[in-house]
């Protein structure tokens, strides 16, 4: 197996995981390698490697993770240059990010997942104007969800119209349906995590309120909502809300997701599946980096809220 041949699909979360786990030297060396081998003149991270697996649909999701990890490691030559490119993909009217990258038209999909992650990158870079535009987009996405509370649309097109027509095999990427198992709870989970951080930065209560709403929606899901690989970012969001409020319900959600994460660890110390499903050989590297991030973030927040 040569996961590096899969490009960012296998390594985009690794700098962040190394930064969190006290491996700053290794993380810095990886960032140096990424800057030398993947960063192009535009600031994109596709100079050498084509986007494969999930990143073939979520063009800049990996860019955002690398920016956050590089910034945590003090690798500003990578994070600042890469963010200049990333910010060019923000829709000028809505504040959402165009899922398909630089070739997308303004009427194409803007999704919650990659928009929320780009928002986190903006917060790491101190780009409040970008982050607050993302916050407005995510607030409106919650306010525009069906009143029944039985479904959540995860993308919009033609400005801010929910994307309701899509191939059946891509349904998971466009909707969460209450009562069904194996739903993508990590999408509203990551949106809520970003909104809590934005609330902390701006003290605007609407972000706190909507973050809670996203988490409460997921907590009304099927019985597997804490235990599947798609649950991890729900736990992160709940742990952030617990740290902020001390509300034991958020503690319960976060602890339940944490227990599920730990139970899925393999005997060799790795995790086989991450939140975004992937058949690539390097998916285990990405899943393991993601699990490390989530476990350490959740543990820190549970301690902070206790």
Mean of pLDDT values over 22-48:
92
**Residue 189: pLDDT above 70?**
yes
For residue 115, the number of C-alpha atoms closer than 13 Å in the C-beta half-sphere is: 29
Tell me: the pLDDT tens digits for 156-175? Answer: 999 899 999 999 999 999 99
pTM attached to this predicted model: 0.96
Q: What is the pLDDT of residue 50?
A: 79
Report the mean per-residue pLDDT for the chain: 95
**Residue 37: pLDDT above 50?**
yes
Tell me: the pLDDT tens digits for 263-276? Answer: 999 999 999 999 99
Q: What is the pLDDT of residue 6?
A: 74
Tell me: the pLDDT tens digits for 209-225? Answer: 999 999 999 999 999 99
**Residue 180: pLDDT above 70?**
yes
Q: What is the pLDDT of residue 51?
A: 87
Tell me: the pLDDT tens digits for 64-90? Answer: 999 999 999 999 999 999 999 999 999
Cβ proximity of 28 and 70 under 8 Å: no
Axis-axis angle for helices 283-305, 232-245 (nearest 10): 20
Residues of the chain with pLDDT > 70: what percent? 98
Structure confidence at residue 4 as a pLDDT band (50, 70, 90): low
């Amino acid at each position: 197996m040569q996961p590096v041949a899969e490009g960012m699909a296998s390594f985009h979360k690794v700098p962040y995981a190394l930064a969190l786990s006290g491996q700053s030297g290794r993380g810095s060396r990886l960032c140096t390698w990424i800057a030398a081998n993947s960063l192009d003149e535009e600031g994109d991270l596709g100079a050498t490697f084509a986007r494969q697996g999930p990143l073939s649909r979520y063009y800049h999701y990996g860019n955002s993770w690398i920016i956050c990890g590089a910034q945590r490691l003090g690798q500003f030559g990578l994070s600042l240059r890469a963010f200049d490119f990333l910010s060019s993909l923000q829709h000028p009217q809505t504040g959402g990010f165009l899922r398909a990258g630089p070739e997308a038209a303004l009427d194409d999909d803007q999704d919650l997942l990659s928009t929320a992650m780009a928002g986190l990158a903006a917060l790491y870079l101190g780009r409040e104007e970008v982050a607050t535009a993302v916050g407005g987009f995510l607030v409106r996405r919650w306010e525009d969800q069906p009143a029944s509370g039985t479904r959540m649309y995860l993308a919009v097109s033609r400005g801010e119209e929910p994307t309701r027509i899509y191939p059946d095999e891509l349904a998971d990427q466009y909707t969460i349906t209450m009562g069904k198992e194996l739903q993508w709870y990590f999408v509203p989970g990551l949106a809520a995590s970003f909104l809590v951080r934005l609330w902390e930065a701006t003290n605007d209560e609407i972000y706190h309120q909507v973050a809670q709403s996203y988490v409460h929606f997921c907590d009304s899901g099927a019985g597997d909502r804490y235990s599947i690989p798609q649950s991890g970012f729900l736990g992160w969001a709940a742990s952030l809300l617990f740290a902020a409020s001390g509300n034991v319900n958020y503690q319960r959600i976060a602890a339940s997701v944490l227990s599920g994460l730990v139970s899925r660890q393999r005997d060799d110390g790795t995790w086989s599946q991450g939140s975004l499903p992937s058949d690539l050989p390097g998916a285990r590297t990405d899943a393991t980096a993601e699990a490390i991030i989530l476990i350490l973030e959740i543990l820190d927040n549970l301690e902070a809220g206790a």
